[in-house]
Amino acid sequence: MAGPGPAAPASEDSPASPAAPAAPTARAAPPALEPFHYRFITVHPLPQQPTGEMIRAALQALVAAAAMTPFGPEAVQVGGARGDRWDGFQMIAESHIGLAGQGRHGEANIWSCRPFDADACADALETALGGLWYYRRVQHAGYASAAPETQERRTDGG
């Protein structure tokens, strides 16, 4: 007895059997995340040791200048058992901002998952705390970057 012959071609009255599911397509890898980290330092001593109010104003000015989103209140500490040390910290939706110093010397660090205007941030520090602020972009091992190793602010006030 002969087996069944070849299948008849599909017609409008007899649809073909369902097609095999398509192979899943490979997803493109997401772009590598690179942090944007700038360190700001005072070039010369500040006109005065910052007060808690000045540090809080500087943090608020940095959030505004960097166009970031504050997340919670600022944390500020000045003096006490720590002598003339001072610091401030602000969480932002994009990461965080920190200020620290001793006496009339200070440093600020801004970490963000998106770029921001470092010149505007240096100007904000100069307005809030006085003095002249120098900055550079910090590169971190393990993160590929197309950006130059450092980006520096002129120290002539501009």
Torsion angle, CA of 95/100/105/108, rounded to 10 degrees? Answer: 0
For residue 67, CA distances in Å to 4, 70, 78 come to 74, 10, 26
CA distance 59 to 102: 17
Q: Which residues of the chain have pLDDT under 70?
A: 1-35, 141-158
Name the helix (H) or strand (E) containing 99: strand 95-102
> Is 62 in contact with 121 (CB distance < 8 Å)?
yes
Strand order across the beta sheet in which 105-112 lies: 75-78, 85-92, 95-102, 105-112, 36-42, 133-137
Predicted local distance difference test score (pLDDT) of residue 23: 62
The structural domains of the chain, with segments of one domain joined by +, span 45-137
pTM higher than the cut 0.75: no
* Span 3-31, pLDDT tens digits: 555 555 555 555 555 666 666 666 665 55
45-137 fold: S-adenosylmethionine decarboxylase (3.60.90)
DSSP annotation of 88 reads E
